[in-house]
Amino acid sequence: MKKLLLLCCSLLLVAGCGKPAATLPTVIGSGSVEIPVYKITAPAAGKILGLILEPNERIGQGQPLFAIEQPELDSAVEDAATEAARAEAELTNLESGSGEQAIAAANYSLQSAESSYQTASQNYQKMASLYAQNAIARLKVEQAQAALEAAKANLEAAQAHQTRLTAKASPEAIEQQKQVALQAQQHYQQLLQKQQANEAQSPCTGIVTEKLLSSGDTAAQGQHILTIRATEQCQVKLKMQPQQAAALKPGQSVTAEAAALKKSFPGTVTAVANGTVTITLEDKLEELQAATEVSISLKNDASR
């Protein structure tokens, strides 16, 4: 009988040891839900452009809100863009000669100049011959000679133009133009960044709750223009003992239990500083309201 009892106890112990103990969530604190509200201010002083949003409108993260007009900067950006394009085109011409259309036009001009020169030369020879025979006045010869000189100058210009278009530049000239093109592009990018800094974008996906100025109004730098309430994220801040808070790390997964709603929401530890732990919730948030009380749990890692 004793042997039978010992055998049963042994079986029970083996069965109990073979099944790992269940891990239970660890409550690390509780707090109120905070929904981020962003005040959008004017990045610079000037006229507001493109502000078409109205209160209660939804907006996506990164969506343009408005721009601030600065005519001098806008004009400088346009000029810099033109100069950068011109410098790049000149570099291309130096590296590979001119484009087919430009070369074709130059060839046509050269052919026309050659034809005009031949005609002027023949006419001059004819006039000179007639003058030698006393058949025409000297004025006719002088006019023919002037036309010949003009045709010659035009021919020389056409020849020089064709040479500039078709000839590939020297390595030194190409390198010099590369530097010019690079500086022009850098100048353009610097001005473009200044211009883009005058454009406001939404920091979150949310709803416009307040609109203080409209498109066409003039704003001072830093003036409050819009208020946007986030709809796809909220936070819970826990006050803890510094030693307890230090045990938590950003990136750890948590669960927020809303007793009033009888629902749970997944979240992540996003910051730990001076005893304050910030929890960010990012799912099914349409059911949560600001100031909702939640209990935050951190599940144990059984592998540790």
Question: What is the per-residue pLDDT for 99?
Answer: 57
Neighbours of 304 (CB within 10 A): 4
CA angle (63, 69, 72) in 5-degree steps: 135
Question: What is the per-residue pLDDT for 8?
Answer: 47
* 98 vs 261, higher pLDDT: 261
Residue 122 reports pLDDT greater than 70: yes
Secondary structure E strands in 124-247: 199-201, 206-211, 218-219, 224-230, 234-239
- Closest by alpha carbon to 221, among 191, 197, 192? 197
Residue 50 and residue 227 in contact, taking contact as beta carbons nearer than 8 Å = no
Provide the edge-to-edge strand list for the sheet that holds 224-230.
37-41, 224-230, 206-211, 58-59
Task: Grade residue 131 by pLDDT with cuts at 50, 70 and 90.
Answer: low
Q: Determine what percent of the chain falls in helix, strand and coil, rounding each to the nearest 5.
A: 45, 25, 30
Residue 3 reports pLDDT greater than 70: no
pLDDT, tens digit (0-9, with 9 covering 90-100), for 34-86: 888 999 999 999 999 989 999 999 999 999 999 998 899 888 988 998 898 88
Residue 196 reports pLDDT greater than 70: yes
Long-range Cβ contact pairs of 141-146 (< 8 A, separation 24 or more)? 144/120
Specify which residues 41 forms β-bridges with: 224
CATH number of the 38-69+195-230 domain: 2.40.50.100
Question: What is the per-residue pLDDT for 6?
Answer: 47
Residue 117 reports pLDDT greater than 80: yes
Mean confidence (pLDDT) of the chain = 82
pLDDT, tens digit (0-9, with 9 covering 90-100), for 231-256: 887 889 898 888 888 889 899 999 99
Question: What is the per-residue pLDDT for 252?
Answer: 92
Alpha-carbon distances of 137 from 121, 122, 146, 150, 296, rounded to whole Å: 18, 18, 15, 21, 113
The reported pTM is: 0.54
Specify which residues 60 forms β-bridges with: none
Task: Grade residue 12 by pLDDT with cuts at 50, 70 and 90.
Answer: very low
Question: What is the per-residue pLDDT for 284?
Answer: 62
Question: Of the given ranges (14-28, 39-53, 202-216, 277-291), which has the lowest mean pLDDT?
Answer: 14-28
Question: Of the given ranges (7-11, 96-100, 218-222), which has the lowest mean pLDDT?
Answer: 7-11
Residue 266 reports pLDDT greater than 70: yes
Residue 97 reports pLDDT greater than 80: no
Task: Grade residue 135 by pLDDT with cuts at 50, 70 and 90.
Answer: low
**Answer CATH for 23-36+232-299 from 1.10.3720.10, 2.40.30.170, 1.10.357.10, 2.102.10.10:** 2.40.30.170
Q: What is the pairing mode between strands 206-211 and 224-230?
A: antiparallel
